[in-house]
Structure 1
Amino acid sequence: MESRELIERLLKLSEAIEHAAQLADWPEAARRTEERSPLLMSLTGDVEDETRNIIRRIQALDESVLTLAATGKEELNTEYQEALRRAAATRQYLRTACD
């Protein structure tokens, strides 16, 4: 794959990863990340300015995905804690009702 094609493919995959993360479709984001990883490793050190700008865009997309993942994790943790609280309240209610 030529350098230009490679960087454009990397950008498209990065955009797809971010889109999946926005939808909280983490299996799809992971699949796209696995597809992208070997392509990232094939980048060479000597790149043009335009390629360097695209790499910066990819890095910004990655930052966005990390932020979305952290937010998603926090939301899941909050929901989990609330579910535990409700389960405990239900147990207490059942204990009281059965006494």
Structure 2
Amino acid sequence: MRCTCGSPACRRWAAKRLQNWDYAETGQSPARAVESLRLEAARLMIEQSLHSLDVVARETGFRDRRHMREVFIRGFGVPPQAVRRDARRVVSS
């Protein structure tokens, strides 16, 4: 079970988990792992919703639309607009 209440106890627990992060096991730093999760959440939201890219960026924890675009290009090699365009093309086929 995972707590999402944001209480101080939960935040301390989460911080402790990040301190014990096993880089060798995951191949990613904690920051990179969180970024990867945000990126995947944003991709799914872009593909499956009609929300604007500004809303997607905000809801998935990016600073803004521009930051999300930079991370998309680094992670997927394409901007979020291309992901949305491709998802719409599949649906309309």
Q: Which has the higher contact order (CA 8 A, sep 6+)?
A: 1
> If the length of structure 1 is used for normalisation, what is the TM-score?
0.37
> If the length of structure 2 is used for normalisation, what is the TM-score?
0.39
**Rg (Cα) greater in structure:** 1
Q: Which has the higher helix share?
A: 1
